[in-house]
Structure 1
Amino acid sequence: MLQAPPDAAPAAGAPAPLPDSLALGPVTLVSRDPESLVPFYRAAVGLDVLARADGRVVLGAGGRPLVEIVRNAAAPLPPARAPGLFHLAVRVPDRAALAARLLAARRLGLRLGASDHLVSEALYLDDPDGNGIEIYRDRPRDAWPATEDGAIAMETLPLNLAALAAEAASEGGPAPAGTDMGHVHLKVSDLDAARRFWVDLVGMRVMAAYPGALFVSAGGYHHHLGLNAWHSAGAAPALKGSTGLDHFVVRLPAEGIAALAGRLSAANWPFERQDGALTAADPAGNRVVFQPEPLAT
């Protein structure tokens, strides 16, 4: 069982927790041929093409951009052990929407993994470039189980696919409005270094730990980021411009970005500021762009 470790509470001198409103934005991937990935994301994941321009394809659901694929015909392939994307996780709003994705994957003859994590139910696929894709739905937060010390408990249990399939209202089709990017799971080369960056510096909180992995978040969510060194421990970052993860977006209030810039500056951690956004990379070279959250309409 995944449990929050004893030191999951903020340590003395730790940064203030990130705002509860933190949310993930689109994940940007590099591909030698983005158009070859489009049929997978449309049929298997249920995303629509929202834009095409200059070798870029933007896909999303309900008008919300979720995955951007950038063309680089000369992009090198990263070594299998290199840090980078373990999976991006598209979150659907209900069990019927998850069941529709199960039926779509079966119709397409795709290799599929599935797990019940107690807090969520998840399907796992790889896109044609080998990028890991999770499609999941959360159980209601008040149904998330707790450990004896009150932390969130998670498991990796078999998912009853027959019961899930029975709840499908359709066989595939577009993902419904409300579908978003629930979390991103990264491969890192040093788990302690990743923790120092994402927790001690950025300000996320450890929600659960497992041998070789941490799950961190803001606002009490079970995890916005997964971090694992299962196969990437000690590995060097992939060459810049390699296929796979280019960067992912984290949305914060403008004041949260300003506070983060102050912490990074104080730690002499390199970052860039442009148009209100802040771009940095973790110790394994995984790039993140902190963007101001959209104005309420």
Structure 2
Amino acid sequence: MPVTRRHILALAGVTTAAAALPGALTAEGITDNMAAQANLPFALTTPIHCGEVALRVRDLDNMVAYYRAVLGLAELSRTKEGATLGAGKTPLLHLITTPDAKIEPVTSAGLYHVAYLMPNRAELARWLVHIAMTKVPVSGFADHNVSEAIYLMDPEGNGIEVYCDRPRENWQWNDGVVTMGTEQLDVDGILALADTTKDTFERAPDLMRIGHMHLKVGDLTKGDAFYVAAAGLVHTRKGREDAAFLSSGGYHHHVAMNMWHSKGVGARESGQTGLAWFSLEVTDNETLEAQRSRFETAGFAPKSLTDGRGFEVIDPWGTGLRLVLA
């Protein structure tokens, strides 16, 4: 039986696209290209952009199975410390095995979601058919003007967004501020790009990447001191007291911060499940050294990585940020 709009809506436990909006609004804190492209998505071509992410997990086998089955990630390596998964041969996700760890509470700072960027709308469509046919529950989906997104949660409570960007020439900017809303997703328009009679999504496309990271923080001013003043990202939206959106090179956002569940919290309890670290890649050594200098001046004590590619610094809530050469 072909996948229809009704099947997609059922994944979120609703019968209309309007009813699915609350889940997407919650995910964003508010209570095209059919052919595969030869080049990386724009998000990955900016001077600073997202690289990899590491999560501490209790049940390694179960989590590996989930990310392989749902996102189509390939298991690239496994050691006694954990497993590395990726798209094609590109590592994206490190799962660190911590079987005795406590589950991190939702009110803690840390990860809100990891956003996996599909290279085009057609790949998002194939994936949407896949999760419909395999009956993967979702928590919401929405059109954000600059992108189209589906939200879900992994078995240990880590948020996931799977999205594709609209052509950037269609993004609306005004004085450095990009228009990003949360509206009903055009499910029918996406499904029109895929064969809805069968599941053709066997693995993640080679050009799928982490497009942005969305974090929970306790204080936006402290977040600015770390991710803007020291890391070198810039604001792309203004006027919100509960969230901030930051980017490099004219992307809509590479890092988001919110206080929707975590306002006023301090450093996370070490060793709990959830986000261990994520990386931002920079395109030149001059930028990397400038970042290191700013972090040192601000008292954040950068520590060089053993592979020589860059350094790691810990944000005010205990999350590791790795700055590395692309």
TM-score (norm: length of structure 1): 0.87
| 1:150, distance to aligned residue in structure 2 (A) | 5.8
Bigger proportion of residues as helix? 2
Q: 1 CA distance for matches of 2:144 and 2:150?
A: 11
Counterpart of 1:203 (choices 232, 241, 249) is 232
Consecutive unaligned residues in structure 2, runs of 5 or more: 1-27, 29-44
Provide the alpha-carbon RMSD of the alignment. Answer: 1.8
1:93 paired with 2:124, answer no
The amino acid across from 1:140 in the alignment is: P
Q: Distance in 2 between the 1:231 and 1:251 partners?
A: 28
Work out the number of aligned pairs and report it: 275
Please state how far the C-alpha of 1:129 moved relative to its aligned partner: 0.8
SS at match of 2:102: coil
CA distance in structure 2 between the partners assigned to 1:211 and 1:165 by the alignment: 36
Partner of 2:297: 266
Partner of 2:12: none
Counterpart residue type for residue 29 of structure 1:
L
Amino acid at match of 1:132: G
Q: Tell me the equivalent position of 1:291.
A: 324
CA distance in 2, matches of 1:203, 1:22: 8
> Which residue of 1 is the match for residue 25 of structure 2?
none
**Aligned partner of residue 178 in structure 2, secondary structure:** coil
Alpha-carbon deviation of 1:49?
1.2
User: Which of the residues 278, 281, 285 maps onto 1:251?
Assistant: 281
Gap regions ≥5 residues in structure 1? 3-18
Asked if 2 retains the 8 angstrom alpha-carbon contact of 1:30 and 1:72, the reply is yes
Equivalent residues in 2 for 1:1-297, closer than 5 Å = 20-112=46-138, 113-147=140-174, 149=175, 151-169=177-195, 171=199, 172-209=201-238, 210-252=240-282, 253-274=284-305, 275-293=308-326
1:194, 1:284 within 8 Å by CA — same for their partners in 2?
no
Q: CA deviation at 1:105?
A: 1.8
Percent identity, please: 36
Question: After alignment, is 258-267 or 214-223 more displaced?
Answer: 258-267
Aligned residue type for 1:164: I
1:38 Cα offset (Å):
1.8
Q: Return the structure number with greater relative CO, CA threshold 8 A, min gap 6.
A: 1
> Normalised by the size of structure 2, how large is the TM-score?
0.80
SS of the equivalent of 2:296 reads: helix
- Report how far residue 101 of structure 1 moved: 1.7
| Aligned equivalents of 2:76, 2:176: Cα separation in 1 | 42
Deviations 1:194-250 (A, max 9, x none): 112211222110001434110001111100001001110012332212111000011
Q: 1:139-181 CA distances to partner (integer Å, 9 max, x unpaired)?
A: 111011234x463111111102222122124623212121111
